[in-house]
Structure 1
Amino acid sequence: MNKLLINALAAAALFASIPAQSHDYGANSIKIDHPWSREAPPNAKVIAGFFQLKNKGTEDDFLISASSPVADRVELHTHVMEDDMMKMRQVDSVRIGAMKTVMFKPGGFHLMIFDPKQSFKKGERFPMTLTFKNAGTIEIEVAIEENAHKHEH
């Protein structure tokens, strides 16, 4: 009876850990950790996407585009200081140096997801495709977190 209980608990722990592990993605040398976005009101015209990019390879790679079936378009953005003001700017690509990490976070690089077709609540996820110059396309799911959430990695 004890063996049966131990086996059942071990199986439950294994299955419970699968969703947590499935929030990391990768292909070739590129690893993507914890893609997330904040809850937004139903009438939001734009939401942002964040994650950590790791290049475990010996050559630089570049994130060159993003897309999602839940939005009309997705752009790569960053913040720049211009005329003593911080402004958001679209960029054509984001370099991920060899053996380096790039954070997509509030106030830095991020995805701008325009005209989402629905609103998302905490705990929900939506699909996103990231395209890299060398690693190709990587399918991820963006997790929705609380609007007040401040993500630290």
Structure 2
Amino acid sequence: MLKRYLFLVISLFSFSLAANQVVVSDFTVREFIPGAPSSVGYFQLANHSDKNLALSSVSIEQLGRVEIHNHIQKNGMMSMVKLDKLAIDAHSTKVFQSGGLHLMLFSPEAKLIKGETLNAQFNFVSGLTINAKATIVGINESIENEHQHHHH
């Protein structure tokens, strides 16, 4: 009985420790263009742990559906593909940005208002869940920030 209890405590502690070693930063969600069925989300996802992880889904309040997408080049053409999961190696960072990995956002329940924040949940295949906050940015503002980001 004591062994089971200790195993449970150690498991919960290591799970908690892993959550502190996986960090979402610079998380922005772009306002929906009036009449557009979708928008995008960008962020950085850092895995500072010693374990490889796989992101399986992201949910964001006020959005009916969120999908993980990537741009790939195939036969000289760029195309967008939906990913069922995304591997994040130990001690690595995935950057979600224009022209690469990004979140596709669908079915807003209400108008997204620039400057407000949304709660998000990142779910991993291992069962790990990370909570984060996304800042809503304006349609033009997020494009300008992307250009500024690329010049650094």
- Confirm or deny a common fold (TM above 0.5): yes
2:109 to 102, 109, 117: 117
Q: Report the equivalent of 1:15.
A: none
Percent of aligned positions with the same letter in both sequences?
33
Does structure 1 conserve the Cα–Cα contact (< 8 Å) formed by 2:33 and 2:39? no
Deviations for 1:46-95, whole angstroms, at most 9, x for unmatched residues? 11111101111111111111123312211111001123211110011111
User: Which structure has more helix as a fraction of its residues?
Assistant: 2
Larger deviation: 86-95 or 35-44? 35-44
Call closer, same or farther: CA 1:106–1:38 in 2, change over 3 Å: same
Does structure 2 conserve the Cα–Cα contact (< 8 Å) formed by 1:42 and 1:119? no
Matched, 1:53 2:45: yes
Does structure 2 conserve the Cα–Cα contact (< 8 Å) formed by 1:80 and 1:87? yes
- Scaled by the length of structure 1, the TM-score of the pair is 0.75
Q: How does 1:1-153 map to 2 (within 5 A)?
A: 27-134=19-126, 136-148=128-140, 149=142, 150-151=145-146, 152=149
Give ranges in structure 1 of 5+ residues lacking alignment: 1-25
- Scaled by the length of structure 2, the TM-score of the pair is 0.75
Give ranges in structure 2 of 5+ residues lacking alignment: 1-17
Does structure 2 conserve the Cα–Cα contact (< 8 Å) formed by 1:29 and 1:55? yes
Q: Which stretches of structure 1, 4 residues or longer, exceed 6 Å deviation after superposition?
A: none
Does structure 2 conserve the Cα–Cα contact (< 8 Å) formed by 1:72 and 1:116? yes
Does structure 2 conserve the Cα–Cα contact (< 8 Å) formed by 1:29 and 1:135? no
Deviations for 1:70-127, whole angstroms, at most 9, x for unmatched residues? 1221111100112321111001111111111110111111111111122223211222
Does structure 1 conserve the Cα–Cα contact (< 8 Å) formed by 2:33 and 2:139? no
Residue 112 of structure 2 aligns to a residue in which SS? coil
Does structure 2 conserve the Cα–Cα contact (< 8 Å) formed by 1:44 and 1:115? no
Does structure 2 conserve the Cα–Cα contact (< 8 Å) formed by 1:61 and 1:135? no
